Amino acid sequence: MIALRPITPNLYAVPMRILSLVAHPRPSSFCHAVSARAREELSALGHEVLHHDLYAEGFDPCLMAEEAYSIGDTLEVALSRAADPVTRQHRSEIASADGLLVVHPNWWGKPPAVLAGWLDRILVPGVAYRLASADGLPEGLLSIKSALIFNTSDTHAERERTELGDPLELIWGRCVLPYCGVETYHRHVFRPVVGSSDKQRKSWPEEAEGLSRRVFRSGS
């Protein structure tokens, strides 16, 4: 388990609006099982969960030339530039979210292409961050208080860290989330999936449920 920042009790007085993403092409995958268990717990806590299965929905990961962004965009400009209604919807949802839940496998040290493309098309200037100039520091625009990232992997933790540099930790914990102004984040890796026992595979969704409850604890 990798805690990028210490988790403190989540004492929000009102239910949160949580955007949920799962990126795996097989509905029977372990990623889907983890996502479903986490979302069930979040709904039980009274949170509003906006969920997208990026593969099932056929999300187009290719950023189009006409929607290419500029560093000076506002939210209104970013939404208006997106001719695709799906892109507008996702940008609007992330801009209004209090929490973020993402579940995906570790493929070649990165998220699946559909999720990488989602980052390109949705987390754009005016929606996720603002730059006063090309060489300036970003101002994170997201209102997300907590983010929870679940990954699956077949690489042991020691090798991931020492030989490969844990690229997913760098992507989520050093690049994407801090850049966009996310206040706290937590990442947990279920590993190794290949060769895991039935007992392990049954316990991992329960672990995901507990972590979701801890990270997005309701104060109501």
H or E element: which one contains 148?
strand 146-152
pLDDT at 164: 73
Amino acid at 4: L
For residues 34 and 131, give the distance between their C-alpha atoms in angstroms, rounded to a whole number: 36
Q: Where are the domains of the chain?
A: 17-215
pLDDT surpasses 50 at 10: no
Q: What is the mean pLDDT of residues 107-125?
A: 95
pLDDT surpasses 60 at 2: no
pLDDT digits (tens, 9 = 90+) for 19-29: 999 999 999 99
Largest CA distance in the chain: 53
pLDDT digits (tens, 9 = 90+) for 37-93: 999 999 999 999 999 999 999 999 998 877 766 666 777 777 777 778 999 999 999
More confident residue, 197 or 27: 27
pLDDT surpasses 90 at 112: yes
pLDDT at 145: 95
H or E element: which one contains 140?
strand 139-140
CATH superfamily of domain region 17-215: Flavodoxin domain (3.40.50.360)
pLDDT digits (tens, 9 = 90+) for 120-175: 999 998 899 988 766 677 899 999 999 999 999 877 767 777 787 689 999 999 99
pLDDT surpasses 90 at 5: no
pLDDT at 45: 94
pLDDT at 7: 41
**What is the reported pTM?**
0.86
pLDDT at 96: 97
> Rounded to the nearest 5 degrees, what angle is found at the Cα of 102, between the Cα atoms of 123 and 15?
90
